[in-house]
Structure 1
Amino acid sequence: MAFLAHEPEAPAPQKAPFISRRTLVIGVPALVGLAAAGAVTGYVLAGDGPKDEGAAGTPSPSPGAFPTDTMLVRLDEGERSAIYSTTPGSGKRTQLVAGGYDVLPQWSHKRDLITYIRRITPTHWQIFTMGKDGSGAELIVDKVNRGTRVCWSPDDTKLAYVARVSGRNQLFTVPSTGGTPTQVTRTNDDKDDPAWAPNVQGLVCMWGVRDGKPQLMLFRLDDPDGSRQWLTSGGLASVDPDFSPDGKLIAYSHSKVSGQADIWVVTPDGKSSPVTSGPDLDMDPTWSPDGRWIAFTRGPVAKPRIYAVRPDGTGLRELTAGTALEGHASWS
């Protein structure tokens, strides 16, 4: 899969029913303007519940109850994209916000607040926070990089995100209640997808460009332009990092070729191993609160659906019910 770090933004197509985090990473043009925000009633999509499969796709018994912790998802509805909460695999969803084009929800560590980004135009994105029931939506940052992830500090007092400065992606932090952002990085390379370590003060994982491909790196916020600890390398892109709740593993999306990627895990000292495999596009991993499962989005990109798997690659199951188009899950 080609990584088009410096490709100019192309005109938006006339119609597109969804957004994929991966399309933003590889430079696919952003969507056109969406319909004005309006009330979209919550609804239930029928389904038989999670389908449990073995690592090779064969039925496999489930050793214990599957987590029922509330998951956040982006649900594509025609030309709109709204954020819902759901019990994984139930098909029952509660709409939290319907701004017309809201994506990438992320739980705070206390699970009492949610942050997400909203597209105003193809080049104008905003960061919002809201309560776990969708109440009290607050604009935190008016303009950020298109499709940037937003992550919470371990104590939930700050948010980290990426914005463009003089044509380059730079990391910023901002108080989670709003205020003046602080520019953290000033390096002359592109970077994105910040993930804040839950167990080490001031440690962030994100991708940076190494030998022409995005690769995962660790750095400290108090020395952002100093020596970086690279976790991945080679000719394949590694993006979408997400720390396990105990901080001992980082799940990420590891590209094979255009339109194909697997979920991998890597330790903070750089030991990596695959979790999923096959011809699909697997991306946007998120850990269950107990750290025993990884949920992720599986393509094709026009039909995103949420799956879950154990970190050792067993127990693969589909969580999206019915014909819904779900992506950008946040579980912990």
Structure 2
Amino acid sequence: MALDADRIRALHAAKLRALARAVLDVDLAEVSGTDDGALAVASDAEPAVVCLAQERTQRALGGALALAVRSGCDGVHVFAENHSDVLARRAACFVPAPIVWQIEGSGATIAEAAPRSTEPPPPRAPELVALLGAAGVEVTVEHGVITGEVEGLEVARIVAVPSSGDTGASDDDGDSGDVRETSAEWQIEVGVGAHDREAFSLLHADEPTTEAIRRVADIVRSHRTPGASPHPLNRMGAARWLRSLLIRRPDLVGAGRLRAASSPLPRGGPKDPAPAVAYGLTPDGRRLVVVVCVGIDLDVVPFAADARLFLDPDAELVVALPRRDAHEVIANMAARLRRPAQIVEVDDGWRTITAIDH
């Protein structure tokens, strides 16, 4: 029988209390259990934040650092069973660096930082890339996957041709079309995501791929435009939409030129609200990583630090977000980085700026 939310939070709080006692020799007076874990401030001689990362583990560091900022603590301890190596890699970007613990039974040991990530090469299918370009979509390459996007929302991707007996199901979680153009071991699948893709294929199986891409792209474009009524197609991937604008208007974040770049970890699909990443140069030629976020995301600074480490450790770092989302705690976290990031605020009406570039 599934546990209710209150019971889960209580169990997370109890687990953090037990770990703090066993590993840190600290008795936590007040612990806030959450759906994802638990948080507390240890009132010792040197107060410190203590965190349990139980669910959505890779996003735990931001919440712990935010509590440290609000509480005036320098020390942060994060306990995790999974992805502790990624958390440790991100923690090392801060001063003082949070301590990440790998949970082992009823105890824990200090986690080793994961090595800097590497990116697989994209498929060699120039004719399919040309076909995406001919269909009028933005061609992006992230983590070895080539996609065609409209205002940051995927409408097509180049994938491996399924082997005999393979169902051909996609591994993303969006919803729009499946017409294919094949080139050797690669083919184009058309659509915003996996679910709607199959239906699109059934309805338009004989439609040439260029026309199929344009059909889906026109639908998406009609919703990701100034003044469009609220719709799932203009709520998904807001950060990637803003990144698409900044690539066309790099001056909005003080850049000379930008291109789409991979995040430090592959994204989950079109519905994933994770920040988007761009890489480029300042007007005077300095290398620049820009991490784009829409909505208040307490983990955006650890994510951004990891993105710089992944793409170019020596680059300058900008976190770009709408003015209403530029919370003071995010700026304070950015100042704690070994190499601080610059917070750049974009006008809250940024969606209307896209009209000048169509």
Q: TM-score, normalised by structure 1?
A: 0.27
Higher helix content, 1 or 2: 2
Higher strand content, 1 or 2: 1
Q: TM-score, normalised by structure 2?
A: 0.26
